Chain A
């Protein structure tokens, strides 16, 4: 039996940061991880992470894993056991792990850090055992680690960050995401993550759940339905989606078995993710030799996991080496409190209270509205209005044009006198929530620079489609400039008619299937263009021929887009085109409204 001062179980962000801290203080440490390469969930994350630069904000997950691996591999006192699964905890601070499935290894420790993370929750529905039903993380593993794409048309259940990120990664891989279902009436994850997939045309269906998978041998579709406030499906709202893969992303549940075996008290705290080890502010469990960090202690982000890993390691070092690390620990606890002070962490804060872990006082955060900035200047528009713990834009801006302030959850405020239009923030923003905009009144055009993480990269001069925030076609755009960035968040500058300056949020290559322009009457771009090609010269003629704008919304949604198409095809500026006559009712009303035959005068 080998003896170590410290053993860390789990090579995810919490475990690796913990091991690295232990090792750099000269603690003889073993880190045990069941995968070939340590990194945990980070290795399959291709998106840039939120947070601050100290905690690897703006860096992609798998690259953070590489950095953390580099940190521990360089430490003489840290031993790494990969492909090693801890099978049990035994008396006398002993644990046993299976190396490569065939070697039994017994080790003992003075102090133990359990950072086993979490596993995906399952969702019961009819036929959920059909091939083609996956956990979201499983699909990420298949796709991003092994290069296997398990399907072509996906349904994702759950709009937490995992579901949203998976949807984005699937779209990057060129497959279709039919919908994301969310049982609640709002986005589970970060709004910026949701916006990334919405502008690519993925609908997020609120108050919806899956009832069953369709298929005999494999998934061929799904029946989904609306749910009421008690999450009960509402009869009559069922609809079928043709999908071949269903991904369940309804949350994670902490992996506490080893903590339990190590005699740590486990309590059910739903706010933290389910059964979790009871622990104090410094991550010590009810077993004084055992600490926890990361998702095992509360389901959160990688940033908080890393900070917790550091706090537990520092607490362990104090006792192993008999040193005073009070200052360092206090500093980390303050940072952790800052990260947890936003509205997205309400549940975590109330869950921790149940352990007696109180939220430390922090400077308050502020939520600021969307700034449009001075028209005509090339400038950054920061579409980040939800308080989340991230300040990568503020940190990257060399001109101090973006301010977040003391609390990292505050939303950014741009100082447009200082913004030079350099677009550094566009490629740094993990939420892809920043774009560049300039109005050009001379040519009646707008220039838009958007973050672009798809292949192929568009070429200058290419015609593309300009899409709105929900992935609807707005107008044709021309690629004017392409900036290829080393971090793979490229910037594509496109130009299009000025009228659409505030509407275009993304670009897409023209598709074979024509986009729907008028959603009320289901009129496609192709139908409108055909009507113009056959001789229609006026908006009113187009309307009569195709029914465009004639539905219940009366053209509120698409009239300008139709005028834009007509203008592009005929060369007549929008301002010179007739746009028809507005008629009552502005909103459809029932005949019964007039049942009395008129309001007496």
Chain B
């Protein structure tokens, strides 16, 4: 651990490591990053790994499209194969309301420059014959969507940071952030104190608590989402498939296993990483119904992770108005992994240039909650 850092990043998940990576790439020296456990121990290491551009908010679409550009070259730029696969995303509409909603979304997404197709149930079966479409009214399909291995992506960033000379501290807890006259002066960690004037809160599930350390109220909360993985089988499922109505997402990893999850009816609030039998009981019948081939597939493991949720289910990224140079990239509401490459770039630009350059993300600032907000609807 160094004693004086130009930037302190709190959180060693995909967002924190991506910010540190982009800063280091831009030539910033003496960056310190703190992770209270191991790399990928939080939400990144527990997430589904989807990389989707089909969102209902234009901002999310833009950030996701920029991320896809970066993911395409991830192996070259970060140095590890993260099992990135552009097998597309197939969103299923099961109700008439969803059909109208999806049609409007596709119009907006196309305006943003995204290549999205609308598929009839028959077209879906022709392309993906293993899906039971008896309850499906329509699908939207974006071939450049895909997925990757989030754990490896996170660790790939961390290994790159070590190579680039970033001060990476795992198993180190940030205990306090010292602020004087609205200026940050330093950070107390479980391994000692270090001076800094810039802090980035990328603490995921703990974003609110880390906000309080610097005297900043962040309107996020954490809730538990459960997930499971099956045994590996031959490649059968090209796209990641989501049904908001039936409440699931599923993808097949490059290893062959199928990863899937849902939103529990009344998700446990806070950081609780336990698991329930109800999750398996709810998942199994609906997955077997929509994907009959799964009937005799084996479930190998279930686990859970925390969604760090914001009031409009969109991330909160920017600098605090109250404490100078206290930035945050939090509240990703379950889609932090897929946005992280673009967010890392944007936050690094904010720190170095004062504002984001590649993608203008000024409307993701915390200030938006002072006005009326529009909620992102495409969330499982």
Chain A positions within 8 Å of B, measured between CB atoms, are 534-538, 540-541, 544-545, 547, 550-552, 554, 578, 581, 583-585, 588-599
Which of B151, B155, B282, B288 neighbours the largest number of chain A CB atoms within 10 Å of its CB? Answer: B155
Please determine whether B298 and A590 come into contact, CB atoms closer than 8 angstroms. Answer: yes
| 26 cross-chain CB contacts under 8 A | A537-B38, A538-B38, A540-B40, A541-B38, A541-B40, A544-B45, A544-B152, A544-B155, A545-B151, A545-B155, A552-B231, A554-B300, A583-B303, A584-B275, A584-B277, A584-B301, A589-B298, A591-B284, A591-B287, A591-B297, A592-B295, A594-B280, A597-B281, A597-B284, A598-B278, A598-B282
Q: How far is the CA of A591 from the CA of B278 in the complex (A)?
A: 13
Please determine whether B45 and A540 come into contact, CB atoms closer than 8 angstroms. Answer: yes
Q: How far is the CA of A139 from the CA of B190 in the complex (A)?
A: 67
Can you name the residue of chain A whose Cβ is closest to the Cβ of B151? A544
Q: How far is the CA of A545 from the CA of B150 in the complex (A)?
A: 10
Please determine whether A592 and B162 come into contact, CB atoms closer than 8 angstroms. Answer: no
Q: With A541-B155, A545-B152, A583-B275 in contact, is A588–B300 under 8 Å at CB?
A: yes
Please determine whether B296 and A591 come into contact, CB atoms closer than 8 angstroms. Answer: yes
Please determine whether A591 and B288 come into contact, CB atoms closer than 8 angstroms. Answer: yes
Please determine whether A594 and B295 come into contact, CB atoms closer than 8 angstroms. Answer: no
**A residues near B152, Cβ cutoff 8 Å:** 544-545
Please determine whether A595 and B288 come into contact, CB atoms closer than 8 angstroms. Answer: yes
**B residues near A594, Cβ cutoff 8 Å:** 280-281, 283-285
Q: Is B378 an interface residue (CB 8 A)?
A: no
Q: How far is the CA of A226 from the CA of B238 in the complex (A)?
A: 35
Q: How far is the CA of A535 from the CA of B296 in the complex (A)?
A: 39
Q: Is B130 an interface residue (CB 8 A)?
A: no
**B residues near A541, Cβ cutoff 8 Å:** 38-40, 155
Q: How far is the CA of A424 from the CA of B297 in the complex (A)?
A: 54
Can you name the residue of chain A whose Cβ is closest to the Cβ of B149? A544
Nearest CB of chain A from residue B279's CB, rounded to whole Å:
10
**A residues near B39, Cβ cutoff 8 Å:** 538, 541
Q: How far is the CA of A547 from the CA of B155 in the complex (A)?
A: 13
Query: What number of B residues sit within 8 Å (CB to CB) of A?
Result: 36
Q: Is B380 an interface residue (CB 8 A)?
A: no
Nearest CB of chain A from residue B17's CB, rounded to whole Å:
12
**B residues near A547, Cβ cutoff 8 Å:** 255
Q: How far is the CA of A598 from the CA of B281 in the complex (A)?
A: 5
Main secondary structure of the interface of B (DSSP, over half): helix
Please determine whether A583 and B295 come into contact, CB atoms closer than 8 angstroms. Answer: no
Q: How far is the CA of A540 from the CA of B297 in the complex (A)?
A: 26
Nearest CB of chain A from residue B84's CB, rounded to whole Å:
16
Q: How far is the CA of A535 from the CA of B277 in the complex (A)?
A: 36
Q: How far is the CA of A578 from the CA of B287 in the complex (A)?
A: 34
Q: How far is the CA of A536 from the CA of B170 in the complex (A)?
A: 11
Main secondary structure of the interface of A (DSSP, over half): loop
Q: With A544-B45, A585-B299, A588-B300 in contact, is A538–B231 under 8 Å at CB?
A: no
Nearest CB of chain A from residue B162's CB, rounded to whole Å:
5
Nearest CB of chain A from residue B302's CB, rounded to whole Å:
6
**A residues near B280, Cβ cutoff 8 Å:** 584, 594
Can you name the residue of chain B whose Cβ is closest to the Cβ of A547? B255
Can you name the residue of chain A whose Cβ is closest to the Cβ of B44? A544
Please determine whether B275 and A535 come into contact, CB atoms closer than 8 angstroms. Answer: no
Q: With A547-B255, A590-B296, A594-B285 in contact, is A581–B303 under 8 Å at CB?
A: yes
Q: How far is the CA of A198 from the CA of B223 in the complex (A)?
A: 50
Can you name the residue of chain A whose Cβ is closest to the Cβ of B38? A538
Nearest CB of chain A from residue B29's CB, rounded to whole Å:
20
Q: How far is the CA of A24 from the CA of B219 in the complex (A)?
A: 104
Q: Is B237 an interface residue (CB 8 A)?
A: no
Nearest CB of chain B from residue A44's CB, rounded to whole Å:
47
Nearest CB of chain B from residue A74's CB, rounded to whole Å:
69
Nearest CB of chain A from residue B36's CB, rounded to whole Å:
12
Q: How far is the CA of A583 from the CA of B276 in the complex (A)?
A: 10
**B residues near A552, Cβ cutoff 8 Å:** 231, 298, 300
Q: How far is the CA of A537 from the CA of B300 in the complex (A)?
A: 25
Beyond the given pairs A540-B41, A594-B283, 4 more chain A to chain B contacts, judged by CB atoms under 8 angstroms and listed by A's residue number, are A535-B162, A544-B40, A545-B155, A578-B38
Q: Is B294 an interface residue (CB 8 A)?
A: yes
**B residues near A595, Cβ cutoff 8 Å:** 284-285, 288, 295
**B residues near A590, Cβ cutoff 8 Å:** 295-299
Nearest CB of chain A from residue B140's CB, rounded to whole Å:
27
Q: With A590-B296, A590-B297, A591-B294 in contact, is A585–B302 under 8 Å at CB?
A: yes
**A residues near B158, Cβ cutoff 8 Å:** 535
Nearest CB of chain B from residue A592's CB, rounded to whole Å:
5
**B residues near A598, Cβ cutoff 8 Å:** 277-278, 281-282
Nearest CB of chain B from residue A527's CB, rounded to whole Å:
13
Q: How far is the CA of A545 from the CA of B39 in the complex (A)?
A: 11
**B residues near A596, Cβ cutoff 8 Å:** 285
Question: Which residues in window 335-377 of B have CB below 8 A to A?
Answer: none
Q: How far is the CA of A197 from the CA of B355 in the complex (A)?
A: 68
**B residues near A578, Cβ cutoff 8 Å:** 38
Q: Is B244 an interface residue (CB 8 A)?
A: no
Q: How far is the CA of A456 from the CA of B151 in the complex (A)?
A: 44
Q: How far is the CA of A591 from the CA of B294 in the complex (A)?
A: 7
Q: With A544-B45, A545-B151 in contact, is A591–B295 under 8 Å at CB?
A: yes
Q: Is B159 an interface residue (CB 8 A)?
A: yes
Among B277, B288, B299, contact of A588 (Cβ-Cβ < 8 Å)? B299
Please determine whether A593 and B301 come into contact, CB atoms closer than 8 angstroms. Answer: no
Among A536, A581, A597, contact of B155 (Cβ-Cβ < 8 Å)? A536
Can you name the residue of chain B whose Cβ is closest to the Cβ of A535? B159
**A residues near B288, Cβ cutoff 8 Å:** 591-592, 595
Can you name the residue of chain B whose Cβ is closest to the Cβ of A531? B155
Can you name the residue of chain B whose Cβ is closest to the Cβ of A551? B300
Please determine whether A591 and B303 come into contact, CB atoms closer than 8 angstroms. Answer: no
Q: How far is the CA of A591 from the CA of B299 in the complex (A)?
A: 7
The list of the 7 closest CB pairs from A to B, nearest first, reads: A594-B284, A544-B151, A598-B281, A588-B298, A538-B38, A591-B284, A597-B285
Q: How far is the CA of A396 from the CA of B206 in the complex (A)?
A: 68
Q: How far is the CA of A545 from the CA of B82 in the complex (A)?
A: 10
**A residues near B287, Cβ cutoff 8 Å:** 591
Can you name the residue of chain A whose Cβ is closest to the Cβ of B168? A535
Can you name the residue of chain A whose Cβ is closest to the Cβ of B284? A594
Nearest CB of chain A from residue B272's CB, rounded to whole Å:
13
Q: How far is the CA of A435 from the CA of B298 in the complex (A)?
A: 41
Question: Which residues in window 227-281 of B have CB below 8 A to A?
Answer: 231, 255, 273, 275, 277-278, 280-281
Q: How far is the CA of A48 from the CA of B159 in the complex (A)?
A: 55
**A residues near B278, Cβ cutoff 8 Å:** 598
**A residues near B41, Cβ cutoff 8 Å:** 540
Q: How far is the CA of A591 from the CA of B289 in the complex (A)?
A: 11
Q: How far is the CA of A592 from the CA of B301 in the complex (A)?
A: 15
Q: How far is the CA of A590 from the CA of B158 in the complex (A)?
A: 36
Q: How far is the CA of A592 from the CA of B278 in the complex (A)?
A: 15
